[in-house]
Structure 1
């Protein structure tokens, strides 16, 4: 998983604690973790294109969640940043090896390919079963000061 996914997930989670109607700029989000603003902004724009965030231009503009956190899964965020492709791509290496055959689809026949596909599916299923709202509730259960601290930090930036 690339760092952009981590940055996007943390940014989205932090936005769950914003006051209704409030947006936060890419610069403020980047300063929160000491990240490069331009690179984080690219991740945020990908989230806008995916319908996860909305953006408002101008001095009081910024980013906010486009949907309720109950409707945004971790898989939505990962897919927005990384794309929908599977993590493992079978290149049909067996076709080139001893006994390989050009008329066999090794993506289906190869046991390694099958195992990796099952693992990818399990990973995606797990991410699809977790929402930002559930993650927010877990964080608040372990770290009850986080919502207030996050809002205060954004107010100071």
Structure 2
């Protein structure tokens, strides 16, 4: 028997938390366990691929993560052969990040896998509603 959630129906934060249960399950089933990747690691790979040469600092700010967490995650991705680190020639301290060819293929494959799995799992929404939801969530995320 479902609990009465009427008082929280319009609370976006509550609805996001409930919906994230499904998205986390989809990610873990399709990518997390099969590829031994955390969602944040996949996200980092996708962002590095879309923004070649991005610095760890910009990545950290974009994802609102701590510097140590980003450093350890990037080290794991580097150890697995997914990213390349290039020294910033201007200041010699910073780095520029790029994905490897293998990671390019993997990110493209995983993104398509996730899209298909989400579309199937979100069967309570039409494709147009799913796209609208993604657009609205993107707009909401811009408020950070």
Q: Which has the higher contact order (CA 8 A, sep 6+)?
A: 1
TM-score by length of structure 2 reads 0.45
> Which of 1 and 2 has greater Rg?
1
TM-score by length of structure 1 reads 0.41
Greater share of residues in helix: 2
